[in-house]
Amino acid sequence: MNTTINLLDEYTINKIAAGEVVERPSSVVKELIENSIDAHSSKITVEIEDGGKKLIRITDNGTGIKPDEVEKAFLRHATSKILNVEDLYNLNSLGFRGEALASIASVSEVELITRTKENDFGIKICLSGGKIIKKESIGTSIGTTIIIRNLFFNTPARKKFLKSSNAETLSITDTVNKLSIGNPSIQFKYINNNKVMLTSPGDGNLKSAIRSIYGKQVFDNLIQVSSDMGFIKIDGFIGNTSIYRGNRSMQHVYVNGRYVKSTILLNSINDGYKSILPINKYGICFLNLYLNPDVIDVNIHPTKLEIKFENELQIYNVIKNTINDTLLGQTLIPKYEKTL
């Protein structure tokens, strides 16, 4: 066996890391939409073909990237969102690891077109397998369009494990829905194989975003939730007892604007509904939690879906009680809120 220790080159490092950040097309969509949100876009269009395997195109009207920084955006650990470790405790962006673009580019063919408001021209850059193959000036509007083609073309093992186009599309749809609900001030448009699937109003109203995505039946059966315990503020809506699901897919929880999947939060919701819903049924909820950024840690996993809380038992109790009190209050005094 060769015992020489090698320092891996950047392409190899990126490809290895891509295994963690880019699991499937929906992970690419998540990272790219999050970049558009961080760029203060008010309009984001997501287009996919063949479950994202053939094409993913995200167009935003955000800040864009400066012409001389376009290459840098594709370098590993290159980010405009934090400068040092202290910033991690005061995070107000979704991204901070500076690895999504590097990882995605290493396993696909990328075309990025971007323009800032300070420039009257844009830049187009093309990469294949992480290597820059073209960079040129181009006329374009302010914002960024990024196109990902042939995902995993150079990692056949990963490509083989992708599910059918239908299954990958379902996962992307779920990602777009969750990010649209979490950002009601942004107008989202979602196009699948040239068919418009969703246009969210982008009027800042959570309830109208819910209606545009999940329809009238869910909209008509929501109860407003609001609580302020000092260390945690909660607002949003929960479904009343006439709408529920057989799984947790309609449980939306956002912490400081970030969609998260947290066992402790999901348990608190389900325990809040316990004894009110039939057994093995899950309530519907759209909850925004606001906490001081220094009591949470989102740097648990590269996908940033998991979260750790300093005071998790307290948080568990507040959410469970808020849901339980809201549902019981609703049972005694029915309120029919039909207007937006």
Stretch that binds Mg ion, among 66-74, 93-101, 112-120, 326-334 (CB under 5 A): 93-101
x/- letters, 60..79, toward ligand ADP (CB under 6 A): x-xxxx-------x----xx
Question: How far is residue 318 from each of residues 42, 178, 258, 322, measured CA to CA in Å?
Answer: 33, 23, 19, 6
Q: Min. distance of Cβ 221 from ligand ADP in angstroms?
A: 36
Pairing outcome for strands 122-128 and 131-138: antiparallel
319, 266 Cβ separation under 8 angstroms? no
The item of ligand ADP, Mg ion, none sharing an interface with residue 268, based on CB under 5 to 8 Å by kind, is none
Q: Which residues contact 157 (CB under 8 A, 6 or more apart)?
A: none
- What minimum distance in Å lies between the beta carbon of 324 and ligand ADP? 38
Among 95, 129, 202, 283, binds ligand ADP (CB under 6 A): 95
Asked if 80 is part of the footprint of ligand ADP (rule: CB under 6 A), the reply reads: yes
Binding ligand ADP (rule: CB under 6 A), the pick from 99, 180, 287, 309 is: 99
Q: Residue 57: name the closest of 24, 31, 32 by CA.
A: 32
Task: Give the pairing type, strands 143-149 and 55-60.
Answer: antiparallel
Spatial CB neighbours of 233, under 8 Å, sequence gap ≥ 6: 227, 289, 290, 291
**Which of residues 95 and 302 has its CB atom nearest to Mg ion in the complex?**
95
Contact 119, 63 (CB under 8 A): no
CB within 8 Å of 2: residues ≥ 6 apart:
none
CB of 134 to Mg ion, least distance (A): 23
| Selected binder of Mg ion within 25, 52, 67, 95 (CB under 5 A) | 95
Chain-centroid distance of CA 271 in Å reads 26
Contact with Mg ion (CB under 5 A) among 91, 100, 127, 176:
100
Task: Give the number of residues in contact with ligand ADP, rule: CB under 6 A.
Answer: 23
Min dist. Cβ of residue 31 to Mg ion (A): 5
Q: Which parts of this chain interact with ligand ADP (CB under 6 A)?
A: 31, 35-36, 39, 60, 62-65, 73, 78-81, 95-102, 144
Q: Which parts of this chain interact with Mg ion (CB under 5 A)?
A: 35, 95, 100
